[in-house]
Each structure stands twice: as C-alpha cells, then as structure tokens.
Amino acid sequence: MNVFMLMLPGIAVLALVGLGAFRWALKSGQFEDPKGAAARILEESDHPG
Amino acid sequence: MTAIAPGCPSGLSLSATATPAQDPSAFVAQKDGVKSLDLIVKGARCGGCLSKIESNVGRLPGIRLARLNLSSGRLRVEWAGQLKPHAIVETVSDLGYGVTAFDPGKVDVEDARTERRLITALTIAGVGTAAVMFMSEPLWFGSDLPADMRNILRWLSAAVAIPVAIISGQPFFSSALASIRARRLNMDVPVSLAVILALALSLYETSVGGQHAFFDASVMLLFFLLIGRVLDARLRRRAYAAANELASLQTATATRLGLNGRAEAVRASDIRPGDILLVAAGERLAIDAEIISGESDVDLRLVTGEVEPMATITGQTLHAGAVNLSAPIQVRALAAANDSLMADVARLLEAGEQKKSGYRRLADKAAELYVPQVHATAALGFVGWLMFGATAAQAAYVAVTVLIITCPCALALAAPLVQVVAAGRLFREGIFLSSGDALERLAAIDHVVLDKTGTLTLGDPVLSNMSEDARRALTHAAMLARASHHPFSRALVKVAGAGPVAEVIREIPGQGVTGTIEGRRAKIGSASFLGAMAGGGSELWFAFEGEAPTPFHFDDAIRPEAAETIAKLKAMGIEVELLSGDGAERVARAAEAAGIQQWTARATPQSKAAHVKALEASGQKILMVGDGLNDAGALAGAHASIAPGGAVDVSRLASDCVFSGDSLRAIAITVITARAARARMRENFAFAALYNIVVVPVALAGWVTPLIAAVAMSASSAVVTLNALRMAGPRRSSQGGMP
C-alpha cells in the first residue's frame, strides 16, 4: 500500500515529462521535414542553415 | 562528398520539370533589414540535391539562411544586403531544378496551427487514456480489492480524466455547440453528451462508493475520435498546399508601370483596379483588364475554348487566363470585368453553388438517423427502469451506459477515415480533392461531360502529317518561328529543336513573322499573309520571297491515355460526351480520336451550363470536366466536377478536385477510388448499425460494466479503421509525385 502511494506521483511526473518532451519536439519543428532530416545526417554541414 | 541519386537533375541537362523563371521580387518579404523569400523547388529528392541547393545558394553574398524542406519541396532563403532575388532563383534553376516563387499565405499558417492544436489534444488524450487504463486494470480484474484502495484509484482516475477530457474534448464541445445553435445535429453532439454524462455519472458513483465508474471509457472515446480528426486535418492541409502550389505555377506576378514609367513586378493579388500593366508576349493575364495600347493577338482557349488566336483591338476587355502572343501590350486592370460573359459566368456559378450547398453528406444523414434514436432509447431506458422500481441513480446508470456503449466512435470514424485513406491515395496520384464529401458525389456520377480544348486535349497544338516539302522547309521555318510566342510557332520549334534565329525579325500581330535567312527575305504566317489559298483547319505557311509557300498543319494533341480512359469509363457503364466551344471540324476530329460518339461544338458558357442542367433534370448525375472560364458555370452546376491543373482560377475553385500531370487517366482513377470509398463507407455504417443493434439490449438490461464498454469501444473502432485501410492499396513511391 505504501509502495503504491509512492509510485503514483512518480508515474504522474513521468507522464508529464513525456508529454512535455513531445510538445517540445512538436514546437521545435522536429516533424516538419522527416525526409530532409534523414538526408541531412549523411551530409557534411559546412553551409549555413 | 555528395552522392546524387539516379534520376536527380544534374545541372548539365535541362530538367524536364524546369519552368521558366519568373521575377520573384514581388514575393520578397522584409523584416528588420532581413529579406526572405519562399520558393517551391521541383525535382529535389535526395540528400545530394539538398546539400547542392543549400550550399550553392548559401555561397551567394549576404545569405543568412538557405534551408530546403525535402518533404514539402520548399526552400526558404533569408538574406541581408543588395542581393537580387532573381540571382537566387537562377542559382537553383541553373542546377537543373524547377523553381517558382510563392506566397505561403495566411490560410496555410492557420491550418498548420489547427493541426498542431489537434495533435496536442491527441497527445494529452493518449497519455490520459494510458494513465486511466493503468489505474482501471485493478478495478476491472481485482474483485478482492479492498474498498479503500478502490476508492483511491477511482479518485485518482477522476483527477486525471476530468482535466484531460476538458482540454482534449474542446474540438468536439465547440463543434457540438455550434451545431446545436444552428439547430442541426452532427456527430459531435452525441459524442459530447456521452463524454460529459459519463464523467458526471462516474463522479457521482465514486462519491457514493457505487459499483462502476467510466472514466477510462470517456477519455478513450476522445482519444479514438481525435485520431480521426488529426488525420483529416493533416490531409486537408496537404491537399490544400498542393493545390495552392499548382495555382502558383500559373500567373502569380504581373508587371506594373508606375507613374514615373518604371516597371515593377507585383503579385497578382496586389494589383488594384486602374493599375497600368505591361503584358509581355507569352505572358498570361492574371486579372481582367482593358487594352489601352499595343497591337497583338491573344490566345483565348482558356476563356472560350477556341484554339485559333484572336487579333486584339484597343479598348477591348480581356479576361484573366488570356495569353498574349505576339507583341507587348499595355492594359488597365479592371475590378472585375462586367461584360456579358463575366456576368453570365457569375450568375451560373451562383446557381451551381446553391445547388451544392443543398447536398447532404452520408455522415450527416447517418447522424440525423442515429442521434434521435439513441437518445430516445436512453431516455426510454431511464423511464423504464424507474417504472420497475429502480432508484434514480440506477436508472441514470442504464441511460448513460446506453449512450456510452452505442459508441458514436464507430459511426463518427466511419466516414472520415475512409475519406482520409481515399484522398491520400488520390493525392499520391497527383489528384487533389477540395472536400471530403466530394468523394461521395464523385461516386454517384453516371455521365461524364468533357470539355475539349485543354481538357480532352493538352491545349497545345502539335505539328502533324508533314509533307516532303514541309520537312525540307522546317529548318528555315523554325528560324523565324523561334522569334514568336504564337502556339503554332512554338509547336514547330518543338519539332525542329534548338537552333539559330533569322535576322531582321519583325512580327506583325495577327498575321505572321518576317525575317532574313542567309541573305534572303522569308515569311511565316497565316494563309492570307503569304497570299496562299487557305486549306482550312489549323495551318501555318512558310515561304522565301518569290517562292511558292509551304503549309504546316497542326492538330490539338489529345491527352495521353485519353482513349483508354474513355473506354474504361464506358466499361463502367458511364456515358461520355464532348462539349466544346471550338469549331465543329476540330471537335469531331478530337471526338473520333478519343472514341467519343456524342459531341457538340460551338457551345457558349450558357449553353454548356444549360446542357448540364438539362441532363441533371433528366435524373442523371453529371461529372463535368473542364478548364476554361466558359466551363465554370457547368462545373459549378454539375453533380461533381474535375479540373486539370492548368485551369483558370474560377474553374479550379468551382471544381471538386484538381489533377496535375497530363494524363486523362486521373478521371478514371478518381471515379474508381470514389466508388470504392463509398462502398467502404456504407460497409462501415452498416457495421456500426449492426453493432448498435447488438449492444443496445445489453446496455438496457444494465449488464454493461466499464470493462465491457472499453472492449466494445476499441473493437468497433478497430473494425471500422481496418475496413477503411482495406482501400489504401499498394503504396506508390513518392518519387516524381507532387511535394
């Protein structure tokens, strides 16, 4: 019972962290260009942008 | 090093997708000294293209940012200083990519915001559902759970579910309110009611330590429905953006002459009535205008459907879509042309719109049947249980379980999911739907009316059946033709290829071109210009001075796969006919080539619309396919309509769907997909009805527990979703498709 009461706030915090991380990813444009992101990691980045 | 995928433009060969670069300066935005420009880049597919474009543009002086979005094909460039925007466009186009400036517009931004809000709501509902499910599990299966434990889990579920439902249910609540205010019932009314009542009942049960709580079911309901909403919003935005890009490939800019006589490039949307515009040879008019000086001839095939160009006179009104051919002219922009043609088109459009707004969607019909029945059943259950001696709380429990378990889920997802999948499939074929219910109307058609010029045909003439004489004269004729924007001249040059141009060129509007080739005077033009006997049909004559003229004949080329498409439509039991504003001879020839028996020539905008109306009145469902201003009334008045990508704005807006690319196959694909979509939708509605027939008695008997509700809800949604996905078909590669 006591263990249970300890876990619940932990779960709530974890859920909120996940939600926050997703919101951040969405806001920072991580899903705007999936194809470009896949191509970019293979390129040398010596140009602006 | 960068690797170039096969098929990517190399910069050495001219890209087939490359469009002539227009002046992009009208699209430059400026903020705090930093200028920015958005461009659509065609043909960029791989990492090599990406780095090539970004690094080459990045090397231009003053560039702050050059970022290409490979998924959408959009390039954003920001710079400071005196760099000419044209240099950016040229840099990209020299690499072999097609490039067009465009205006991202307000709608685009707003749609993106709506989609983001829906995704946020979906995430919150998803996390909330998971959390509530997690706490519900012991409640479902732990029959030996101590009472205090049960209470804690219930209150915790409530603490999660209520705020989650309030936040993520917003799209449904507001839509339901709007629908009630408009005194109509849509699917969001029962959804909102079920969620709110379920939460209220659960809260009551929890506070009195009752049997069951439905916190899990209510957030799960929202989660499932939001998935459908997000898909729908995303697809609509993509289709809108693609159609918008098609539009921006048409006339987007014009050249305005200022008071000081200086020419500046302006966006078509920035032109004010009274502005004086300079229209170069080969340019398409973006707005209605009146000619004030200059002599030329204009190509009116997008306006009237006639292939033969017309000589202009000063003071004449030209409609948007007219293409100036031989010489620059100055025009004065009009607010909107109010001559007889335009007034007629406007009236026909209005009549068509009224008819379409009367159309009731399948989903609305289902909602109007479903909502009163379910609500009456729930009310009946409540009264019934009260009469048989149950407490108010018990009776309310039964009524709410009826509302929850009849699960508007399956019904609410039935149509949108199918529409999303079908529209996605069409999208990959380069066909863009204007709305979801367009599919339902496209599925119902049994008679296709085709316009000829620009619809059945490509709209550009091609050189046909060349005689020996013509073959010999081609090289010399092409030297004159290269100097002209006349469609016949361009068709001739297409066959002859690149090469030298004659000297001392002079173009006489409406007649032809003269010039000097190897020291000899030569002429190309109409039969009367060369003093030849006109042979009828579309022809161009060429002669050296003092020699007998040689004719070149032209045909209006039929779109690829036209005959196959028409055969296919006929095999599906659909009648096909041709309705054109062009002359009888040309219409008959095109009809024969495409395998169409029934044709009408010399149709006016009014007669086109009247013809469609008469057919509709006889009980047939018409699919109108057309591109010109003269088709707009018929497009709006028909049961469903399709326009090719090159259509004038009015016609494109009046249509249910727009296809890119040359092939006429798009029509057959659209109709087949629409019919498949309608079949899936009907199956889904039938399934939802069947499901309700089974579960309503269970709910009325009071046997529904939260576990049963959760399982039934997920299972019915899954069945509807899987059925919709059945029509997704094999995924085509995105290469070569629209961005």
- HEC profile of B187-221: CHHHHHHHHHHHHHHHHHHHHCCCCCCCHHHHHHH
Name which of B562, B541, B566, B561 is nearest B552 in CA terms.
B541
B570 pLDDT band, cuts 50/70/90, is very high
pLDDT at B736: 37
Tokens of B439: 């599919």
Residue B223 has pLDDT above 80, yes or no: yes
B674 pLDDT band, cuts 50/70/90, is very high
CA distance A34 to chain B (A): 7
User: Quick check: B71 and A1 CB within 8 A?
Assistant: no
Q: Which of A7, A14, A43 best probes binding to B when mutated, by most B CB atoms within 10 angstroms?
A: A43
* CA angle (B649, B586, B640) in 5-degree steps: 40
B572 pLDDT band, cuts 50/70/90, is very high
pLDDT in tens, B457-476: 887 778 876 777 888 888 88
User: Quick check: B119 and A26 CB within 8 A?
Assistant: yes
User: Quick check: B46 and A26 CB within 8 A?
Assistant: no
- Which residue blocks in B544-603 are alpha helix, DSSP H? 562-571, 584-594
Tokens of B14: 């001219």
Contact between residue B414 and residue B193 where contact means Cβ atoms under 8 Å apart: no
Task: Work out whether strand B640-644 and strand B622-625 pair parallel, antiparallel, or are unpaired.
Answer: parallel
pLDDT at B339: 58
A45 pLDDT band, cuts 50/70/90, is low
pLDDT at B577: 93
pLDDT in tens, B112-122: 788 888 988 99
Name which of B556, B545, B495 is nearest B516 in CA terms.
B545
pLDDT at B247: 66
Residue-averaged pLDDT of chain B: 82
Assess A1–B contact: CB distance below 8 Å, yes or no.
yes
Pick the residue with more confidence: B622 or B495? B622
User: Quick check: A34 and B120 CB within 8 A?
Assistant: no
Lowest-pLDDT range of B67-71, B205-209, B355-359, B519-523: B355-359
Number of residues that this document lists for chain A: 49
Nearest chain B residue to A9 by CA: give it. B156
User: Quick check: B50 and A43 CB within 8 A?
Assistant: yes
- The phi, psi pair for B300, rounded to 5°, reads -110, 20
Tokens of B245: 């890009």
pLDDT in tens, B413-467: 888 888 888 888 888 888 888 776 788 899 999 999 999 888 898 877 788 767 7
pLDDT in tens, B249-287: 655 677 888 777 777 887 777 788 888 888 887 777 877
pLDDT in tens, B691-726: 888 888 888 888 888 888 888 888 888 888 888 888
Tokens of B98: 């097609």
pLDDT at B14: 45
Name which of B340, B293, B350, B347 is nearest B319 in CA terms.
B340
DSSP B517-541: ETTEEEEEE-HHHHTPPP-SSEEEE
pLDDT at B249: 61
pLDDT at B487: 79
**Beta strands across the sheet bearing B503-508:** B457-464, B550-558, B538-544, B520-525, B512-517, B503-508
Distance CA B574, CA B60 (A): 56
* CA angle (A25, A27, A31) in 5-degree steps: 60
A49 pLDDT band, cuts 50/70/90, is very low
The question of whether B451 is a catalytic residue gets the answer yes
Cα–Cα distances in Å, from B483 out to B18, B20, B500? 21, 16, 10
B336 pLDDT band, cuts 50/70/90, is low
Q: Which of B38, B45, B69 best probes binding to A when mutated, by most A CB atoms within 10 angstroms?
A: B69
**Per the residue annotation, which of B38, B288, B297, B451 is the catalytic one?**
B451
Q: What percent of chain B has pLDDT over 90?
A: 16
Q: Which residues of A touch B55 (CB under 8 A)?
A: 46-47
Distance CA B29, CA B106 (A): 14
Mean pLDDT (whole number) for B505-534: 82
Window 18-47 of A: residues touching B by CB (8 A cutoff) are 18-19, 22-23, 26, 32-36, 38-40, 42-44, 46-47
Mean pLDDT (whole number) for B220-244: 79
Distance CA B235, CA B643 (A): 20
Q: In degrees to the nearest 10, what's the CA dihedral of B362, B365, B366, B371?
A: 150
Residue B15 has pLDDT above 50, yes or no: no
- The phi, psi pair for B34, rounded to 5°, reads -100, 125
- Residue with tokens 């009208």, as numbered in its chain: B26
B19 pLDDT band, cuts 50/70/90, is very low
Window 496-535 of B: residues touching A by CB (8 A cutoff) are none
Nearest chain A residue to B113 by CA: give it. A27
Mean pLDDT (whole number) for B133-153: 80
pLDDT at B618: 92
CA distance B90 to chain A (A): 19
pLDDT at B500: 82
Q: Which residues of B touch A42 (CB under 8 A)?
A: 47
B611 pLDDT band, cuts 50/70/90, is very high
- Which range has highest mean pLDDT (B86-95, B163-172, B384-393)? B163-172
Residue type present at position B69 = N
Cα–Cα distances in Å, from A34 out to B75, B169, B361, B425, B573? 15, 29, 35, 20, 43
Q: Which residues of B touch A26 (CB under 8 A)?
A: 116, 119-120
Name which of B224, B203, B226 is nearest B214 in CA terms.
B203
Q: Which residues of A touch B134 (CB under 8 A)?
A: 11
CB atoms within 10 A of CB B295: 15
Q: Which of A16, A22, A41, A47 best probes binding to B when mutated, by most B CB atoms within 10 angstroms?
A: A47
Contact between residue B532 and residue B551 where contact means Cβ atoms under 8 Å apart: yes
Contact between residue B582 and residue B453 where contact means Cβ atoms under 8 Å apart: yes
pLDDT at B161: 93
pLDDT at B534: 66
pLDDT at B661: 82
Residue B306 has pLDDT above 60, yes or no: yes
Direct distance between the N- and C-terminal alpha carbons of chain A, in angstroms, rounded to an integer: 54
